[in-house]
Each structure stands twice: as structure tokens, then as C-alpha cells.
């Protein structure tokens, strides 16, 4: 660290170099008394040092809520969200997925979680005007093989799903080229993937969506009941790394999670998932829930399809997408079906 | 804590005390003659009798006390010596501090009037129970004009998780302004109308000062800079840190370092709360404590952190998720209150 660039008096700079203090973090981690002892400076000098390095670290960091509200810039604005490609679903989420933070999509198998994720990988590639982020996506598979056939189907049918977008724009997008598929079946591979591959793709601006399908599978076999503390640490570390990447690159992280039967009523209640009367709880417990900005739950409903007589290409049984918690949304839900062209909300 | 007050200086005439002439005139008109009479009345009684605010009454009494103490044997510390108070005086002083009201009577009730200035309030709960909502609500409510029962202050919002969504704050602010309009209509008082002219959505948003801290080093630096910021923005009456746990729950091989840093933070926040007469509100996560036969949810960051806040409010879902159980723990004991879920979701969600 080049201490000369800071607005400090030469005595302090010399003391910093002599005490071999290499970073602002080190300074802030030491107590006032330790700093005085290490650097042999007076308490007033230390206070001055702390203020100066704090100023340097936090220069220009204040915004008023009004400035946040009025910011319309594509990259920084809070109003910018990642659309799901369907106006009904976007309305449920008041625009779409927030760009900073980890969003979880939990649900039973065949509820449609992978379908929604694939759809997002296509939506992200559209221009800002159409709810996209003009960039690609990383899809990290942790258990199943990537559904390339289904992806191709969805690509072929984009013009049908996105009737709001002019055909020439859709034709210009090379959807397949911008989806990067990674396989990570265990924790070490996953760790490598995040720290190397993901950081690289994000730094180059090639992707602005990360999908992890699924986060639960990584932890299923590796930890016995006595290792819950170790499991919690892994969860917190991954959560923090993903959160940090998301913040730095303003990229939404979509984690798919499985559900398990709620062990007790009170556990189900604390994990906020009794809304639809379901007795399941997302896997990985409160440690993981604490890392999330938003939790969505996808489930199969027992309601019949709205128009049983009409032809539809897929077994269109009704599904439910619910907002379990989000800082900006009330608990709410909407219905959707999975069609050939993708996931569509039902009004 | 009580100190003997039997010194002749107390019989001093008011005219010899260094009080503002206007104040002296009011005291004379109300029949006060000696310093003793003033001190016997106390700040609350004094403010009522001569029609001044409690703060002014307190200040006046402090001046009187200092003058009288000055004539007694001087303490070794000299002119800058610390003031001495009886426990009763401290209690009275505490009761004159403002509260940030929330317009949610269940919440204001359990808090004993609202979120208290000069104190640290910690809000704990599982994800989704409403901690960030409550903080956003308080950042709006701190700005409520005095004629509506508020403290007419401004807010600092330190966000460590990125969960501050300005659209939601806009909803909350709009609902609060509307609520005040309804009060003004019902009560038809002139100062209400005047206050509403400046209590607008844009004004409210412009007085929430937002800081995003991405790790604990940025948070520590920000808190070092707070006293200076608050000196420059003297109307700030609320400092929110949402959440205090997030940056401290990973990346710490050395838990003793974490404990020391958290203790240091707590000390700084206590001083800030007192010096700037602000409420400090922190949110904390819940973690599982594994017991012998079962596990329970407890606030994160460990046992020693548990004593940092003056008031700890724990929000807990009941099993049906339609009610929130609020448990308030403070040095004087604890209170428990049920809150129907829809009341915590305060404004535009009705």
C-alpha cells in the first residue's frame, strides 16, 4: 500500500511503514490502543489517521433516497430489473428480478423451476428496453445434465413468447452463444467455478445472470448431522461470495432450491413458507435463508387448467408462483402454466 | 446516585442567576423566587408552569445547578468537571427524550411510546419477518413534523445487504403523508396545514441519507465518519444499520477479533446516540442454537453482543404465520405482545 497517496503527515506515514502495516483493513482491525503502541503515536494522531483512511475508503459514498429514486441510468438504477418474459409474472414481482442480490426459487420437482430459469437465460439477452440486460448467462448444473433440447425448443419459440418484441430484434440475438453451461457436482468444483470461471465471465461483461441449479444438491450428501456447523460455514462463505459478485457486477444470482418436509410446525413458520398451506420448507435452513434478498416458491396446484377444451402442446397443469419474502413486495402469488414456448402467467 | 443538596447557595435569588431575561421574566410572573424552588419543581413541572419546552426547562435547571454547585467546594476537576445528577433527574431527563412514533399502536405500545432517541434498539428476526420494512418505515417516521407527534428529524440508512428498495420507501412515505393529511383534516389546526407544506414525498426522500457498505471494513470506516456527518447534518435523529450481522458472519477465522470489533462498534454507536440525540436502530439475523434435545432460534453474533443494545426487539412468526410475536427485552425486564401480521405490513399493502 502506497501510504504517500493519503493525506497524512509524514510522521504518520513513516510510522505506518515502520510498523509494516499494509492495508486500510489492517488499520481498522486494530484497536486504538494497539495502534498507539505499534506506531508510537499519540491518541490524537491515531484519531486523525483513522478519520483520514476512513474518508479515503468512503469517498463519495452518500446518496439520498431521492437520488436513488431519480436515477434512471440502466446500469445503476434500482428501477432496472430482469424481466421474466411475461407481463403477468413481471407484475407479481413489480418489474422482475432485482439486479443485486441472491434470489431463490424453491419448489418440489416438476414445479417448473428449471423452466423459469431457462426462460430467464433467454430474457437476459434482450435489450434494456424489453426488460433484458443485453448480456449472457451462466448456468451452473450441480446434479442433472443441462436440458439443451428444451433450451433449443424455447429459442425456436421466442417469437411466440415475446410477441412484445419486434421480430427483427429477436432474429438478431444469438441465444445459444451467450449461455455458458458449467458442471459442478461437489463443493470444491463449485468453489473453483465461482472464484475463477464466474469472476472472469462477469469481469468481461459477457454475462449478467447466474443460475445455480440447484444449490441444495451440493450439500445433500456431504454433511452428516454432526457437521452442521461446518455446513453453515460453507453456506455463509458461498453466500457471501455470490453476494459480493452480485454487488460488484450488478448481476442477479438465481439459486434453485429443493424443498424438504418441514420437521416441525415452528420451523416451517420461521422459514416463512406456510403461505400456500404447504407443509414443505426450502432446504438448507435459516443459514441459507439469511443470505437471500428474495425467496420465490413454485408449486403444482391442484386446480384444473383454465380452458380444458383448448389445444395446448404441453400437459398444461396449473402451477403457482408465490413471493415468500422480498423487501419490496407483499406476500402474493400468481398462477402460471408451462407451454411449448415457455412459462406464461395466467391472469 | 443521590447527592446531598443542602447548601445555602440554593436560596439564591433568581435575579442573580445567569438566565436569559425572557426566561427570568416568565419565572417571576409564575411566582418563582429562589433556585431551590426551581429545582424542587423539576423539568416537567417547570415546562408546564411557565410554558416552555422540556428541553429548555432542563437546560435552565442545569444552568441553575451549575451556578449553585460552583459556590460549593469545587470538585478537583475544575470548571470542566462532570455534572452530577440524581437518579430521579436522570429518569426525568430520559422521559423528556423524544420517541419516533410508527403510527402502529401495537408497536409503539410495546416500545413504550416508540423508538427511543439516545438509545440503541436492535431488531431481530428470521428472514422475511419485516426487519428491513420496519427500518424503512422508521426512516420515514422520524421525519414526521412535531405537530403530528413526530421529532421532525432526518435519517441515515446504512445498508450492508442491499435490501433497501427505494420503491418501497416511496410507498411508505406516500402512505405516511396521507395519514398526516387525514389527521390534519380531522383536527383542522393551522400548524398542521403549514407543516404539510414541507412534508412531501420529495422532501422525505431527500432527507434519507443512504450509505451502502459492502464489507465490515467499509462499515467500520463509515461509523468512524458518522460523528462528523451528524455534526454537519444536525437534524439527523435516526441512524439505521441494516443489518449488523451480515458483514460479520463470514470471513472471520478469529472470533475474538470479531468480538472486539463488535464491542468497539457498540461503544461508538452508544456515544453517537447520546451526543447527537439520535435513535440507533440495528437489525440482526437469527441463528440456530443446538441444544441437547432440540434446537432454538436465537439472535446471531453471540452472547456478548446481546448486551450492546438498550432495547432488543425479537420478531417471531407464530405457527400459522398470521401473527407476529414481538418480544421486547431491555434492562428493566421484558414485554411480550402479539401483532397481527397485516399491521406490521404498515402502509401501502392494505
Find the length of chain A: 347
Q: What is the pLDDT of residue A270?
A: 63
SS3 B3: coil
Q: What is the pLDDT of residue A311?
A: 43
Q: Which residues of B touch A28 (CB under 8 A)?
A: 217, 220-221, 224
CA distances from A180 to A140, A239, A281, B145 (A): 8, 21, 30, 54
Q: Which residues of B touch A275 (CB under 8 A)?
A: 321
- C-alpha B264/C-alpha B274 separation (Å) is 16
- pLDDT tens for A245-269 read 999 999 999 999 999 887 666 665 6
CB–CB of B260 and A31 under 8 A?
yes
Minimal Cβ distance to B126: which of A61, A247, A271:
A271
Q: Which residues of B touch A233 (CB under 8 A)?
A: 250
Least confident of A181-195, A289-303, B154-168, B220-234: A289-303
C-beta atoms surrounding A258 within 10 Å? 19
Q: What is the pLDDT of residue B81?
A: 44
Across A303-331, average pLDDT: 71
Q: Which candidate, B271, B269, B311, places its Cα nearest to that of B110?
A: B311
Do residues A116 and A125 lie in contact, with contact meaning Cβ atoms separated by under 8 Å? no
- C-alpha A86/C-alpha A120 separation (Å) is 10
Q: What is the pLDDT of residue A221?
A: 74
Name residue A63's beta-bridge partners: B210
Do residues B273 and B120 lie in contact, with contact meaning Cβ atoms separated by under 8 Å? yes
Minimal Cβ distance to B224: which of A54, A233, A274:
A54
SS3 A339: strand
Answer yes or no: is pLDDT of A274 > 60. Answer: no
Q: Which residues of A touch B214 (CB under 8 A)?
A: 244, 247
Minimal Cβ distance to B210: which of A64, A79, A328:
A64
CB–CB of A51 and B225 under 8 A?
yes
Nearest-Cα distance to chain A for B183, in Å, is: 26
Q: Which residue of B has its CA nearest to A329?
A: B168
Which range is most confident: A140-154, A305-319, B37-51, B307-321?
A140-154
Q: What is the pLDDT of residue B191?
A: 86
> At A86, is the pLDDT very low, low, confident or very high (cuts 50, 70, 90)?
very high
Across B225-239, average pLDDT: 96
Answer yes or no: is pLDDT of B8 > 60. Answer: no
Interface membership of A22 toward B (CB under 8 Å): no
Tell me the average pLDDT of chain A. Answer: 89
Nearest-Cα distance to chain B for A284, in Å, is: 12
Nearest-Cα distance to chain A for B175, in Å, is: 15
- Percent helix, percent strand, percent coil in chain A, to nearest 5: 45, 20, 35
Q: Which residue of B has its CA nearest to A240?
A: B250
- C-alpha B236/C-alpha A335 separation (Å) is 45
Across B309-333, average pLDDT: 75
User: Grid coordinates 412484445 are at which residue?
Assistant: A164
Q: Which residues contact B244 (CB under 8 A, 6 or more apart)?
A: B122, B160, B265, B282, B283, B284, B301
- C-alpha B254/C-alpha B243 separation (Å) is 21
- C-alpha B56/C-alpha B191 separation (Å) is 21
Name the E strands within A125-276.
Answer: 136-141, 179-183, 207-213, 253-257, 259-261
Q: Which residues of B touch A31 (CB under 8 A)?
A: 260, 264
DSSP B315: E
Q: Which candidate, A74, A174, A163, places its Cα nearest to that of A122?
A: A174
Interface membership of A24 toward B (CB under 8 Å): yes
Q: What is the pLDDT of residue B345?
A: 42
Interface membership of A272 toward B (CB under 8 Å): yes
Q: What is the pLDDT of residue B51?
A: 77
**Which one is predicted more confidently, A222 or A251?**
A251
Interface membership of A203 toward B (CB under 8 Å): no
Report the percentage of chain A scoring pLDDT > 90.
66
> At B283, is the pLDDT very low, low, confident or very high (cuts 50, 70, 90)?
very high
Report the percentage of chain B scoring pLDDT > 90.
40
Handedness of CA B6, B8, B10, B11 (dihedral sign): positive
Answer yes or no: is pLDDT of B5 > 70. Answer: no
Across B13-21, average pLDDT: 76
CB–CB of A295 and B285 under 8 A?
no
Interface test with chain A among B158, B166, B219, B242, by most A beta carbons within 10 Å: B166
Find the length of chain B: 350
Q: Which residues of B touch A269 (CB under 8 A)?
A: 317-321
Name residue B13's beta-bridge partners: B34
Do residues A279 and A268 lie in contact, with contact meaning Cβ atoms separated by under 8 Å? yes
Answer yes or no: is pLDDT of B109 > 50. Answer: yes
DSSP B82: P
Q: Which residues of A touch B204 (CB under 8 A)?
A: 65
Report the percentage of chain A scoring pLDDT > 70.
91
Helix (H) or strand (E) holding A287: helix A285-289
CB–CB of A29 and B169 under 8 A?
no
DSSP A197: I
Q: What is the pLDDT of residue A278?
A: 62
- C-alpha A103/C-alpha A124 separation (Å) is 15
Interface test with chain B among A100, A270, A280, A285, by most B beta carbons within 10 Å: A270
CB–CB of A58 and B162 under 8 A?
no
Estimate the crossing angle of helix B216-232 against helix B255-275, to 10 degrees: 10
Q: Which residues of A touch B202 (CB under 8 A)?
A: 66
Q: What is the pLDDT of residue B141?
A: 95
CB–CB of B202 and A66 under 8 A?
yes
Q: Which candidate, A46, A37, A67, A247, places its Cα nearest to that of B224?
A: A46
- C-alpha A52/C-alpha A43 separation (Å) is 14
Across B53-57, average pLDDT: 78
Answer yes or no: is pLDDT of B255 > 70. Answer: yes
C-beta atoms surrounding B1 within 10 Å? 9
- C-alpha A46/C-alpha A326 separation (Å) is 42
Q: Which candidate, B254, B130, B278, places its Cα nearest to that of A327?
A: B130
- C-alpha B119/C-alpha B280 separation (Å) is 6
- C-alpha B303/C-alpha A170 separation (Å) is 57
Q: What is the pLDDT of residue B56?
A: 79
C-beta atoms surrounding A282 within 10 Å? 26
User: Grid coordinates 416451517 are at which residue?
Assistant: A268
Q: What is the pLDDT of residue A211?
A: 97
Q: What is the pLDDT of residue B107?
A: 84
Interface membership of A156 toward B (CB under 8 Å): no
- pLDDT tens for B71-82 read 544 444 444 445
Interface membership of A169 toward B (CB under 8 Å): no
Q: Which residues of A touch B286 (CB under 8 A)?
A: 270, 286, 290
Across B280-300, average pLDDT: 87
A102-107 and A294-300 beta bridge pairing: parallel
CB–CB of B257 and A55 under 8 A?
no
Q: What is the pLDDT of residue B259?
A: 92
Interface membership of A225 toward B (CB under 8 Å): no
Q: Which residue of B has its CA nearest to A59?
A: B222
CA distances from B5 to A41, A170, A261, B10, B65 (A): 44, 86, 68, 8, 10
Interface contacts (A, B; CB < 8 Å) = 159
Do residues B157 and B211 lie in contact, with contact meaning Cβ atoms separated by under 8 Å? yes
Answer yes or no: is pLDDT of A60 > 60. Answer: yes
Name the E strands within chain B.
Answer: 99-100, 115-116, 120-125, 154-159, 208-212, 236-242, 279-284, 286-290, 295-299, 311-317, 323-330, 333-340
Minimal Cβ distance to A228: which of B132, B215, B290:
B290
Name residue A140's beta-bridge partners: A182, A212
Helix (H) or strand (E) holding A123: helix A113-123
Minimal Cβ distance to A270: which of B212, B317, B345:
B317
Q: What is the pLDDT of residue A263?
A: 65
Q: What is the pLDDT of residue B105?
A: 79
Q: Which residue of A has its CA nearest to B214?
A: A244
Amino acid at each position: 500500500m502506497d501510504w504517500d497517496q493519503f493525506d497524512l503527515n509524514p510522521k504518520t506515514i513513516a510510522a505506518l511503514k515502520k510498523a509494516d502495516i499494509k492495508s486500510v483493513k489492517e488499520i481498522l482491525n486494530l484497536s486504538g490502543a494497539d495502534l498507539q503502541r505499534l506506531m508510537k503515536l499519540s491518541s490524537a494522531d491515531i484519531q486523525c489517521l483513522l478519520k483520514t483512511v476512513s474518508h479515503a475508503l468512503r469517498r463519495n459514498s452518500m446518496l439520498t433516497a431521492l437520488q436513488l429514486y431519480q436515477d434512471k441510468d440502466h446500469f445503476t438504477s434500482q428501477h432496472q430489473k430482469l424481466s421474466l418474459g411475461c407481463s403477468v409474472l413481471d407484475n407479481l414481482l413489480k418489474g422482475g428480478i432485482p439486479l443485486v442480490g441472491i434470489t431463490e426459487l424453491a419448489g418440489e420437482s416438476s414445479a417448473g423451476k428449471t423452466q423459469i430459469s431457462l426462460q430467464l437465460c433467454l430474457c437476459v439477452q434482450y435489450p434494456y428496453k424489453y426488460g433484458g440486460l443485453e448480456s449472457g448467462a451462466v448456468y451452473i448444473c450441480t446434479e442433472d445434465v443441462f436440458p439443451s433440447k428444451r433450451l433449443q425448443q424455447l429459442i425456436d419459440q421466442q417469437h411466440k413468447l415475446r410477441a412484445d418484441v419486434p421480430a427483427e430484434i429477436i432474429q438478431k440475438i444469438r441465444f445459444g452463444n451467450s449461455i455458458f453451461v458449467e458442471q459442478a457436482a461437489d463443493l470444491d468444483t463449485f468453489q473453483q467455478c465461482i472464484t475463477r470461471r464466474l469472476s472472469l465471465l462477469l469481469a468481461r461483461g459477457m454475462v449478467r445472470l447466474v443460475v445455480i441449479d440447484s444449490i441444495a444438491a451440493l450439500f445433500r450428501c456431504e454433511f452428516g448431522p454432526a457437521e452442521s456447523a461446518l455446513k453453515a460455514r460453507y453456506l455463509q462463505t458461498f453466500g457471501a461470495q455470490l453476494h459480493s459478485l452480485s454487488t460488484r457486477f450488478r448481476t442477479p444470482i438465481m439459486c434453485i432450491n429443493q424443498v424438504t418436509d418441514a420437521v416441525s410446525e415452528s420451523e416451517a413458520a420461521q422459514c416463512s413458507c406456510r403461505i400456500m398451506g404447504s407443509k414443505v420448507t426450502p432446504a438448507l435452513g435459516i443459514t441459507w435463508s439469511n443470505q437471500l434478498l428474495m425467496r420465490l416458491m413454485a408449486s403444482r396446484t391442484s386446480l384444473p387448467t383454465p380452458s380444458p377444451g383448448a389445444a395446448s402442446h404441453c400437459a398444461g397443469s396449473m402451477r403457482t408462483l408465490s413471493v415468500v419474502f422480498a423487501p419490496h413486495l407483499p406476500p402474493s402469488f400468481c398462477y402460471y402454466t408451462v407451454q411449448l414456448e415457455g412459462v406464461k402467467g395466467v391472469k | 446516585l443521590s447527592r446531598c443538596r443542602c447548601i445555602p447557595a440554593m436560596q439564591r435569588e433568581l435575579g442573580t442567576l445567569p438566565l436569559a431575561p425572557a426566561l427570568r421574566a416568565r419565572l417571576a410572573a409564575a411566582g418563582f423566587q429562589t433556585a431551590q424552588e426551581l429545582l424542587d419543581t423539576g423539568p416537567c413541572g417547570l415546562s408546564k408552569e411557565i410554558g416552555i419546552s422540556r428541553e429548555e426547562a432542563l437546560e435552565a435547571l442545569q444552568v441553575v445547578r451549575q451556578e449553585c454547585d460552583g459556590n460549593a467546594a469545587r470538585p478537583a476537576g475544575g470548571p470542566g468537571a462532570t455534572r452530577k445528577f440524581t437518579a430521579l433527574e436522570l429518569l426525568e431527563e430520559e422521559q423528556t427524550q423524544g420517541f419516533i412514533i410508527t403510527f402502529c399502536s401495537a408497536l409503539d405500545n410495546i416500545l413504550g411510546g416508540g423508538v427511543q432517541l439516545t438509545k440503541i434498539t436492535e431488531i431481530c428476526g428470521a428472514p422475511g419477518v419485516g426487519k428491513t420494512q420496519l427500518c424503512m418505515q422508521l426512516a420515514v417516521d422520524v421525519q414526521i413534523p412535531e405537530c403530528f407527534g413526530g421529532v421532525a428529524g432526518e435519517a441515515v440508512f446504512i445498508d450492508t445487504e442491499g435490501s433497501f428498495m427505494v420503491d418501497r420507501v416511496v410507498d411508505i412515505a406516500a402512505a405516511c403523508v396521507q395519514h398526516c393529511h387525514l389527521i390534519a383534516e380531522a383536527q383542522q389546526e393551522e400548524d398542521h396545514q403549514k407543516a404539510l407544506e414541507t412534508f412531501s414525498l420529495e422532501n422525505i426522500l431527500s432527507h434519507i441519507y443512504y450509505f451502502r457498505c459492502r464489507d465490515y471494513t467499509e462499515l467500520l470506516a463509515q461509523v468512524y465518519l458518522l460523528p462528523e456527518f451528524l455534526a454537519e447534518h444536525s437534524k439527523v435523529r435516526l441512524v439505521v444499520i441494516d443489518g449488523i450481522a451480515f458483514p460479520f458472519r463470514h470471513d472471520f477465522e478469529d472470533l475474538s477479533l470479531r468480538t472486539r470489533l463488535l464491542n468497539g462498534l457498540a461503544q461508538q454507536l452508544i456515544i453517537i446516540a447520546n451526543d447527537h440525540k439520535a435513535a440507533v436502530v440495528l437489525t440482526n439475523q437469527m441463528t440456530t442454537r443446538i441444544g441437547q434435545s432440540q434446537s432454538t432460534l436465537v439472535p446471531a453474533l453471540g452472547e456478548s453482543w446481546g448486551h450492546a443494545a438498550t432495547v432488543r426487539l425479537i420478531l417471531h412468526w407464530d405457527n400459522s404465520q398470521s401473527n407476529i410475536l414481538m418480544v421486547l427485552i431491555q434492562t428493566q425486564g421484558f414485554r411480550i405482545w402479539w401483532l397481527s401480521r397485516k399491521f406490521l405490513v404498515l402502509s401501502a399493502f392494505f
